[in-house]
Amino acid sequence: MLDRVGLPSLEGLYSDVPERFIYSKEYDLPEAMTEQQIREHFEELCSRNSKLKIFAGAGAYDHYTPAVVPYLASRSEFSTAYTPYQAEISQGTLRYIFEYQSLICELTGMDISNASMYDGPTAAAEAAMMALSCTKRKSKVLLSETLLPQVREVVRTYAGYHGIEIGMIAQKDGQTSAEALAEALEGGDVAGVILPSINRFGIIEDLSGFADAAHAAGAVAVCYCDPSALAVVRTPGEWGFDIAVGDGQSLGLPLCYGGPSVGFMACRKDYVRKLPGRIVGQSVDAQGKRCFVLTLQAREQHIRREKATSNICSNQSLMALYVTIYLSLMGPAGLRKVNEVSAFKAHSLREKLLETGLFENVFDKPFLKEFVLKPLCDPNKLHKALLDKGFFGALPTEEGYVSFCVTEKRSAGDIDKLIETLKEAQL
């Protein structure tokens, strides 16, 4: 090969690199491992992680992943493909993304979905920027205090650099305050408001009138939601919101220490040109056969450069496939059941926790799988007592409450053991 290139040695391939930039020292890396050594090394690393009974959520939910999901998604025709630029040999990817978009639209009640984003918080940040471009010449975005902390922080980070002013909407009794929103909107200049459908206390927010208030002020209404729960709670579309965002992790993705997850983003039809990210559309091929292609690409960075709707290039395609397969298996009945079983167990845990006398009720609001209580003891000690017995729960919140979450994966026995643990602990 070198002969063809006309060089005596591999080093000649770098003759265009100034010599001082060629790294001549030994790389400070371990010696190469064999496959078996790698496996053993990872097993050893795993042994220093504790597999806990997860009784917490806060944006990452331990729902059951059916065996079919990873089995199919790990087919290498899916996993080792690139972005489907060559539609003729990418119909598999393009079709499942089209299905994914359809499913997200159906869950959120929106008209259009993109092909997915990195995670929920970054999708919310993209929505904040999108609100600005939908409203022109406005520069403020309002966030509800009841949004998850990671959502607020990521939006704040993006906003700070993008030149978006952030205002907070206070909460009252565990739900975004309509009065606070009205007051914040009065200041004017508001491009968008971001509110949760189910908030960080686990409460299903009553969003009546919120979208109208935003629209009356000329602002875009964005709803941050848990897509799993959208099978049973009022959708952003039904509430009259313009954009729905959130994290798809609750739809069959393993926790995996927080990533990869998948963000989703859907909107009203008339905002389609403002929607960031990839979009797949249906078309026909030269012979009239139905086919699918990446479309509306003139919005994107590789064509629009600095005028693009966003800098995002990739989606989280393979995780969107997880979501698509998961939703196909579950169907409307299964997804409802997941919510039902989780909610039933969560309410049972809450009742039993209150019975221990270690907690006080905080909010009397409807919830599904997640809730907060006020501990009558040191929240950190409480958390630690559970951890020592292999439970991950009672996550301390900003207000000094502790939050719990129960999914369908936890058994009645697990719940009883958790309660036993608390009773036995010296709190």
Residues 103-142 touching another protein, rule: CB under 8 A, are 103, 105-107, 111-113, 115-116, 118-122, 129
Give the integer Cα–Cα distance in Å for 139 and 217.
13
**By CB under 8 A, residue 419 contacts another protein:** no
Closest CB to another protein among 120 and 174?
A: 120
Closest CB to another protein among 356 and 380?
A: 380
Stretch that binds another protein, among 44-52, 179-187, 216-224, 417-425 (CB under 8 A): 44-52
Nearest to 97 by CA among 308, 277, 261: 277
Of 101, 135, 171, 250, the residue at the interface with another protein (CB under 8 A) is 101
Say if residues 243 and 275 touch (Cβ distance below 8 Å).
no
Q: Is 115 helix (H, G, I), strand (E, B) or coil?
A: coil
Q: Render the burial of 18-54: b for 16+ CB within 10 Å, e for the rest.
A: eeeeeeeeeeeeeeeeeeeeeeeeeeeeeeeeeeebb
Structure-block tokens of residue 336: 């409802």
Site for another protein in 176-235 (CB under 8 A): 204, 206, 208, 230-235
What is the closest distance, in whole angstroms, from the C-beta atom of residue 358 to another protein in the complex?
20
According to DSSP, the residues that pair with 392 across neighbouring strands are 54
Closest CB to another protein among 220 and 335?
A: 335
Q: In the stretch 289-318, what mask flags binding to another protein with x, by CB under 8 A?
A: xxxxx-xxxx-xxxxxxxxx-xxxxxxxxx
Q: How many CB atoms lie within 10 A of CB 132?
A: 22
What is the closest distance, in whole angstroms, from the C-beta atom of residue 314 to another protein in the complex?
4
What is the closest distance, in whole angstroms, from the C-beta atom of residue 410 to another protein in the complex?
12
Say if residues 158 and 178 touch (Cβ distance below 8 Å).
no
Closest CB to another protein among 23 and 186?
A: 23
Of 166, 213, 272, 427, the residue at the interface with another protein (CB under 8 A) is 272
Stretch that binds another protein, among 177-185, 214-222, 277-285, 371-379 (CB under 8 A): 277-285
**By CB under 8 A, residue 361 contacts another protein:** no
Q: How many residues bind another protein (CB under 8 A)?
A: 195
Of 216, 256, 354, 376, the residue at the interface with another protein (CB under 8 A) is 256
Of 2, 216, 354, 376, the residue at the interface with another protein (CB under 8 A) is 2
Q: Is 223 helix (H, G, I), strand (E, B) or coil?
A: strand
Give the integer Cα–Cα distance in Å for 65 and 68.
8
Cα angle vertex 124, ends 123, 125, to 5°? 90
**By CB under 8 A, residue 331 contacts another protein:** yes
Query: Hey, CA dihedral for 128, 134, 135, 137, is it positive or negative?
Result: positive
Closest CB to another protein among 186 and 288?
A: 288
Give the integer Cα–Cα distance in Å for 44 and 65.
25
